[in-house]
Amino acid sequence: MNRIITLGDSLTAGYGVRPGKGWAYQLAELYPDKIFDHRGIPGDDTAGMLERWRRYAHERCPDQLLFLGGSNDLLSGKSPREVLENIQMIHQICVEQNVRLILLQCPDICPDPGPYAWFDPGDAPWLLQRFQHLREIVGRYARTNALICLDLSKILTDTGREDLWLADGVHLNEFAHGKIAQFIFQRKIL
């Protein structure tokens, strides 16, 4: 059996969608021969994920780590560089524990959020630039270290749909979660 941990925040936990309909749970259904251990915690940032990963890598002995994090960091004012530093430390633990790391790039926030957004709609352009910068530096790090890195923002923009986000402008609906699960599955990387 192949043990896979999905580590992240509310996007990994499936916040705002029906139980079992988040991307990580849908992906597990596509791989019935693998053991998935879902470790998404709403509100967590990459520093918290790093601390959790220090424990999980030893306690749970996974073969692979699917990592999706950074949105909460950027939304709370941390820099893309700070996020990258935490990802680098997570990667180092993976190397030490012989765990294959697969990086999932954060999807964008809604570019035109409504009145219930979890961020000031006027900040959307600035935040989108920060998300783009994070994707650039994490992508460069992944290429340099021969890591698989999937850009989830591209999947969502390629759908041509504007209704992928929940009213908060951050979290994704079930359709978007399904697109993420299918995208990962179609890459045959697990």
The residue-averaged pLDDT of 75-101 equals 97
Cα angle, residue 83 at apex, residues 122 and 155 outer, rounded to 5°: 65
* Domain architecture of the chain: domains with CATH: 2-186 (3.40.50.1110)
Per-residue pLDDT of 108-125, as tens digits, reads 998 888 888 889 888 999
Do you know the residue count of the chain? Answer: 190
Per-residue pLDDT of 49-82, as tens digits, reads 999 999 999 999 999 999 999 999 999 999 999 9
Per-residue pLDDT of 20-52, as tens digits, reads 999 999 999 999 999 999 999 999 999 999 999
Q: How many CA atoms lie within 13 A of 8 on its CB side?
A: 25
Question: What mean pLDDT is reported for the chain?
Answer: 94
Q: Please report which confidence band the pLDDT of residue 159 belongs to, taking 50, 70 and 90 as the band edges.
A: low
Burial grade of 10 (CB within 10 A; 0-12, 13-18, 19 or more): buried
